[in-house]
Amino acid sequence: MTQPDLDASLAHRLKNLRSAIGLSAAALDARAGFYSGTTRRLERGTQRIYAAHLYRVAHATGVPVDYFYEQPSTTDTQPLPNDREAENHRFLRTFLRIQDPALKRTVFNLIKSLVDTPETDDI
């Protein structure tokens, strides 16, 4: 992937994430400790996105930093297709904010039992 392609992919992922969790650009600026207008410049590609930006966004939104580094797909340049994607992001962001490891494990196991999946992955 070329640098312009990577920059565009990161910008789209940032915008899709922000939209999915229902934050305005100004709200993300405030949460991430950015100067006013930074999020918009990052999303438009007029300001280069550095790892420090991604770390601050990840911390502010509760998603793991590797969200931005996953293998690009064909959907990276398009808006989220439906409300289910937004719901998934909100759920993940909320779940990741649970500080107590025992409580997090309990919630995870409860959810896992409700969906009755054969997976045995644990936190």
Superfamily of domain 3-115: lambda repressor-like DNA-binding domains (1.10.260.40)
- Distance linking the first and last C-alpha atoms of the chain: 32
Strands (E), 14-87: none
Check residue 108 and give its pLDDT.
82
Predicted pLDDT of residue 67:
82
Q: Which residue is associated with the tokens 């991604």? A: 54
The model carries a pTM of: 0.58
Provide the pLDDT for residue 114.
82
**Please, what's the largest Cα pairwise distance for the chain?**
46
Residue 5 CB partners (closer than 8 Å, separation 6+): 72
Instruction: Measure the CA–CA gap between 38 and 71, rounded to whole angstroms.
Output: 25
Mean pLDDT of 36-55: 94
What's the CA gap between 69 and 95, in Å, rounded? 21
Q: Domain limits of the chain?
A: 3-115
Read off the pLDDT of each residue in 34-54 and give the average, rounded to a whole number. 94
Average pLDDT for 44-61: 92
73: pLDDT strictly greater than 60:
no
